Structure 1
Amino acid sequence: MENRSNHVLVGGVVLALLVIALAFIVWLAGFHGTDDKQYDIFFKTSVEGLSKGSSVTFAGVPVGKVDEIALMPEKPEFVRVRISVKKDTPILQGTTATIAGVGFTGVSQINLEGAVRGAPPITQPGEHGVPTIPTKPGALGELLNSAPELLERLSTLTERLADTVSPQNQRSITGILTNLDRLSGSLADRGPEIAATLAETRIAVRQAGIAAEQIGKLAATTNGVLDADVRPVLTNLNRTVISAQRSMETLDAAINDARPGLQAFSARTAPELGQLVRDLSEMSEALTAVAGRFDRGGAGAVLGGSKLPDYEPKK
């Protein structure tokens, strides 16, 4: 009877210790973290290095941990990571999440950053019942995403380098180097000629500069001559042309004023002058006849009539 009582006592003590330990564990894991907030992050990059319990930091300060990492069969290009952070963590609009490595251990963590003062908090639940924090590619994610493309480019570059150093291209490169060597030797041999050509070029350039300066002086002299001699002559010529123009205008006015008198002269005086000329012509003819008579018969011929010849009868 006493042994049975001891076993019951021991069992009760052990059971009580188990209940106390279980309560303590629950208090550490559950009761103490009931105020944490959960968020989902959908990564399109590899989440290698993350695991359940990985650290979550905000601007470098630890604020939470990773609760769950799950694949999404309906969206296989994404990996859903659920995190829990302290309730006073400022998860505001503009906050982004990135994956960053921790040293050289191969372990990764989630970094939160980019909160803007005065922005509203992220509270809208997503398709899985908790708010969603957008992602921003981190250095590790970008490296992992670009690794296949980088390897492909390195492979292509290696193949092209192999083609470049093929035997045929090596012979071509050798020929090019040989030609360059010959060309450099020819240039070295013609060094004095090239130097002389450069010297003549300098002289020609100098002479061209002198000629340009002389042309400038000639142009200045020509401008001076124009200012001193030609321009006064042009001024006098302009004055003469203006005077001639005024004279022509005066002559035109005089002709316009004399035009009525000329018209009257043509209409009246001209016929009378014609009649006078005809009368003078007839008088001249008469005087000519009188003079002829005077020459042939003297004054008597003029005053008397002409003597008739004597009549002699025919026998």
Structure 2
Amino acid sequence: METRANFVLIGSFTLAVIVAAFGFVLWFQSLHTTKQRSPMRIVFEGPAAGLRNGGSVNFNGIRVGEVISVKLDNPRRVVALAMVENNAPIRKDTLVGLEFQGLTGVAAISLKGGEVAAPPVPLDEDGVPTLTADPRALQDVTESIRATLQNINRVVADNQEAVKNSLLNLETFTSSLARNADKIDNIMLKVDGVMGKAAGVMAKTDNLMIGLNTLAGGKDGGELFQAVKSIRELADDFDKRSGALMADGRRTLGDISRAVNNLDKNPTRLLFGAGSSSTPAEAPKPTVPERPPAAQKRQ
């Protein structure tokens, strides 16, 4: 129980610290904003349609403040209180009106123009700067809204038949979709099947590419690399052996050429061998026996 109570105390203290820090941040931000902005009262002598709390205050199209309060001062007067940046160059002759973002957007207070040398915004009885909106500007905005709405009504009226036909076509199309819902489901199933087959083909393609990658550049250079290397080594060995064979052939052809040349010069070498000569041998002279001296004398 004591351990659980400690956990609850620690959790409560942590939450309290978080809430206090969050509140301090909000207070500091509010204080900073208050120092940067000052209140300003905008009086509309007529309707201010679309203006509400949180609306923007724009000076020449740039946001410089925010509406914090809108109320009726009398049946024909609307008073808006806004917080406006202190550095906004608002003067006594600045024109005040309303502007809208689109047809259904929230209205924003529009501040325009003013001379640089003009005096600042006059203060009301309570010390708050107060500007009065130009009724002509408000009338221009109202007239623009009315003209836009009239144009929209005119376009719709002129194209009433086309709009009606478009709606009928849309209804026919949706009815056709409802009637063919089963066929559409079957087509989608077939498409899913085709996509599944395509996924299978892509998987096989990936496996094929992986196999080719392994064959071309896997471990130790890949099988294709090893095969090319073996063919290269075989070609180099054949080149070396063919070179030696060509050299032997050249020597053999040289020997045959020399033998043929020798045969042309001395054909008898083929019949009598290498020791024979081209000149025929002379017959040996017969030897006469010498007579003794006595026999010579008798003669």
If the length of structure 2 is used for normalisation, what is the TM-score?
Answer: 0.44
The structure having more radius of gyration, on CA atoms, is: 1
